[in-house]
Structure formats: C-alpha cells, structure tokens
Amino acid sequence: MKLNRLLPALAAAALVIGFNASAADNELTDQEKADGYVLLFNGKDFTGWESRSEFWSVKDGAICGKTTADCIPKQNTFCICKAGEFGDFELHAKFKLVPGDAKGFSNSGIQYRSKVYDPAYCVVGGYQGDMEAGKNYTGILYEERGRGILAKRGQKVVIKEGGDPKNPKKPNIEVVGSVGNPDEVQASIKQGDWNDYVIIAKGNHLQQFVNGKQTVDVTDETAVGAKTGIIALQIHKGPPMSACFKDLKIKKLSAK
C-alpha cells in the first residue's frame, strides 16, 4: 500500500521557475510561458503527483507506469496530478507505450475532468484520451468507470440526454460528422516511441489530437458530462506493459 506522496506545496508552485528558453524535454519556451502554459511535471520527481510506487516511477525524464508478470494491478490504477481541478484548458503531452510480453498488449490513457474513486489504490474515473500499442483505440474518447466509448477515432459526435431504457448507462450518441482519416492517424503513430497527444476542453466541447491530427470532436450535452476535474495517467490491469509520459503542460482557456 505504498504511495508516491505529494511533495511540499511550495515546491509544486515552483515547477515553472528556472527553465531556459530552449525546447528541451519538460521545459517551457518563452513563448509558451507568455501564452500561459504551466508545466505539470518537472522531469525529475513526483512533485505535484501521487501514485502507487510499485507501478509508477520517474525514469529518464518521464513518468513511467510499468507492470510485470510478478506485479500486476488488481484494477486500473493511476498517477494523479495534484495541481487541482481544470475545467477549460489545452493540454499537451508526449506518450510512449511498450508491451511487456509477446501478447503485445499495452493500454493507457490521459484522464481529464476526472475524479478519484479510491484514494488508497489511486483509482480514477472520467473522460479519458485513450491510447494503446495497437491499431484501433489511440485517440478515441473513453469514459473510465462511466459510459465507455463516447467517440471512435474520426468521429464528430453529439451526446444527448436519454438512451436505451433497458440500459440507462448506455449513452445516446449521435454521429454528426467526421474529423480526418483514422488510417492517417494510425499511420502517424510511432510504435514503441514518443508521440504527441493534445486535448482541448472548452465548455461541453471536447477535442483530441494525436501527432497533430484530430481524432475526435465531441459535444456532451448531458447533465453527467463533467465540466471540471483532475488530470491523471493510467496504467492498465492485464498483461505486462509500460506507459511513459513527459512534456506535460497545460494552458487554461476562457469559456467564452
């Protein structure tokens, strides 16, 4: 039951101090600072984050979640950002997924506008920018511990109130258009190497991008659609795998 504990608040407040104007990993350029971005990860330690230490570590300037045959989580567990809740924002991150065995399974995600369900095991639920070491799910919008897949790659959707009366949890999703070519998104993904993920949340409008290509466009008109919440990183239960993240930066947006 070990946790990577949050370090003092004063240290967390200094995350964006002392970086030069280069575009090195886990640093902000002068233009990004002027635009209002702040770093969520300092590239060195778990200042500002909390997680289960048996699954998460900081290695080579990245937050890395790793499972092995001898250390498999009993359920999905997360590295939780303790910088507070974010409502309207633009979030940038780099991610790398590596399967840990011949089965080739590796699944993770970036949680946003989410909430903690089990603090002891660092369990989080809410919107998730999904990703995998596979061919189908990187870039989709998934709702962890909620309504499941809300938009597949390439879809522009509106989520409306109502749904299947026999299954109240099944969302009422209307596909109203498309955004880009899912095959082009997949072709851009560097398996086992670093890729870019961008998430823009503004009001009830959610957009996700992988390697500069838009993957989903979602308008969630339901009452259960979260308008604010925390950010977290996932390591999935199942076969051995690793998921690493770096260059995590965020800019708050006006809702207007």
The mean pLDDT value for 177-186 works out to: 95
**Under the phi-then-psi rule, with left for phi > 0, alpha for psi from -120 to 50, and beta for the rest, what region is 212?**
left
- Residues 117, 29: Cα–Cα separation, whole Å: 36
What is the structure's pLDDT at 16?
Answer: 35
* Short-list 126, 109, 85, CA closest to 230: 85
Q: Which domain holds residue 100?
A: 3-252
Backbone phi and psi for residue 202, each to the nearest 5 degrees, phi listed first? -145, 110
Q: What is the pLDDT of residues 223-251, one digit of tens each?
A: 999 999 999 999 999 999 999 999 999 99
SS3 content of the chain, % helix, strand, coil (to 5): 5, 50, 45
What is the structure's pLDDT at 102?
Answer: 72
- Residues 234, 236: Cα–Cα separation, whole Å: 6
What is the structure's pLDDT at 162?
Answer: 86
Q: What is the pLDDT of residues 129-156, one digit of tens each?
A: 999 999 999 999 999 999 999 999 999 9
Tell how far CA 41 is from the center of its chain.
Answer: 13
The tokens for 86 are 């974010």
- Residues 25, 182: Cα–Cα separation, whole Å: 28
What is the structure's pLDDT at 3?
Answer: 72
pLDDT-based confidence at residue 169 (cuts at 50, 70, 90): confident
Q: Report how many domains make up the chain.
A: 1
Is the confidence at residue 70, as pLDDT, over 70? yes
pLDDT-based confidence at residue 17 (cuts at 50, 70, 90): very low
- Residues 35, 12: Cα–Cα separation, whole Å: 20
Whole-prediction pTM: 0.90
- CATH code assigned at 161: 2.60.120.560
Q: Do 90 and 250 meet the contact criterion of CB atoms below 8 Å apart?
A: yes
Per DSSP, the residues of 175-226 read: EEEE-S-HHHHHHH--TTS-EEEEEEEETTEEEEEETTEEEEEEEE-STTS-
What is the SS3 assignment for 185? helix
- Residues 98, 240: Cα–Cα separation, whole Å: 9
- Residues 222, 132: Cα–Cα separation, whole Å: 28
Single-letter amino acid code for the residue at 188: S
What is the structure's pLDDT at 6?
Answer: 52
Q: What is the pLDDT of residues 188-215, one digit of tens each?
A: 999 999 999 999 999 999 999 999 999 9
Q: Do 110 and 235 meet the contact criterion of CB atoms below 8 Å apart?
A: no
The mean pLDDT value for 75-84 works out to: 98
Is the confidence at residue 13, as pLDDT, over 50? no
Kindly compute the dihedral angle of the four CA atoms of residues 159, 162, 164, 165, in this order, to the nearest 10 degrees.
Answer: 160
Q: Do 56 and 234 meet the contact criterion of CB atoms below 8 Å apart?
A: no
Query: In terms of C-beta density within 10 A (0-12 exposed, 13-18 middle, 19 or more buried), how is residue 18 classed?
Result: exposed
Q: Do 187 and 193 meet the contact criterion of CB atoms below 8 Å apart?
A: no
Percent share of the chain, pLDDT over 90: 82
What is the structure's pLDDT at 1?
Answer: 54
What is the structure's pLDDT at 22?
Answer: 52
- Residues 38, 31: Cα–Cα separation, whole Å: 12
- Residues 171, 162: Cα–Cα separation, whole Å: 7
- Residues 136, 118: Cα–Cα separation, whole Å: 29
